[in-house]
Amino acid sequence: MKKVGIIGAMELEVEALKWAMQIRRRVEKASMEFLEGTLNGTETVVVRSGIGKVNAALCTQILCDCFEVTHIINTGVAGSLKNEINIGDIVVSTDALHHDVDVRVFGYPLGEVPQLGCLAFPADDRLVQLAVNCCKEVNPDIEVYQGRVVSGDQFISDKGVKNRIIENFQGFCVEMEGASIAHTAYLNHVPFVIIRAISDKADDSAEMDYPSFEKAAAVHSAALVEHMLPVI
């Protein structure tokens, strides 16, 4: 039977899902609260991982080990890496990579974790298509893009840094958890998708824009996740 693990880094990214859920069990592990129950008629576990790649990776591993989830969805906000992707739009991951990994000295391409044999972790095609189709129904006024999500333990708010990330990785959006969720799901052979609504442009305007737009963006992403659950 399917059981979907839903991860948001911050409370505002999962609070609407928690409200909408019929909760059966609350489990605390690694200082995170995992809520198990049904959401929109679907078996789910909803959790706030905390911010950054370490929190997100260990949260994903707990979902695999202790809850045996069959699918993983990461919902949240991100900075745009493309001019045409505006605040409020949604990016659905085709794949995800770590933009802050650099072992080029031993011949690995920038971003590749050594001895893994894979630069970017591919999202599940079916989940990607479901997310894109559902987005058009739930958020008809919002543009939805499919592309690469890049992650690192940095908030990107500088045009120079942003441009370097774009040149090196051709990402569609940047955030701080997706690649480690993807990496962990990949190692556990669990299909995943990352869904991110744009809260800022990851440049010098990000510091101003982010606080104004994070809430609305987070809510749009969560609404899309809730809607797609029954069709997974």
Q: Which of 131, 206, 223, 228 binds ligand SAH (CB under 6 A)?
A: 206
Minimum Å gap between C-beta 9 and ligand SAH is: 4
Nearest Cα neighbor of 158 from 98, 202, 106, 102 is: 202
Compute the least distance from the CB of residue 229 to ligand SAH, in Å: 22
Contact status: 195 vs ligand SAH (CB under 6 A):
no
Position 57 contacts ligand SAH (CB under 6 A):
no
What are the structure tokens assigned to 203, written together? 């440049």
The least CB distance from residue 132 to ligand SAH, in Å, is 21
Q: How many CB atoms lie within 10 A of CB 30?
A: 12
Give the separation between CA 59 and CA 31, rounded to whole angstroms. 10
Establish if 213 lies at the interface with ligand SAH (CB under 6 A).
no
Helix (H) or strand (E) holding 60: helix 53-67
Q: Are 96 and 174 contacting, i.e. CB atoms less than 8 angstroms apart?
A: no
Min separation Cβ 59 and ligand SAH, Å: 12
What part of residues 17-56 is at the interface with ligand SAH (CB under 6 A)? 51
177 near ligand SAH (CB under 6 A): yes
Q: Which helix (H) or strand (E) holds 196?
A: strand 192-200
Whole-angstrom distance, CA of residue 124 vs CA of residue 127: 5
Binding segment for ligand SAH (CB under 6 A), chosen from 59-67, 129-137, 154-162, 164-172, is: 154-162
Catalytic residues: 13, 200
Residue 132: alpha-carbon gap to chain centroid: 14
If binding means CB under 6 A, how many residues of this protein chain bind ligand SAH? 19
The rounded distance, in Å, linking the Cα atoms of 161 and 92 is: 23
Residue selected from 191, 199, 220, 223 as contacting ligand SAH according to rule CB under 6 A? 199
Residues near ligand SAH, by CB under 6 A: 9-10, 51, 76-79, 155-157, 174-177, 199-200, 202, 206, 210
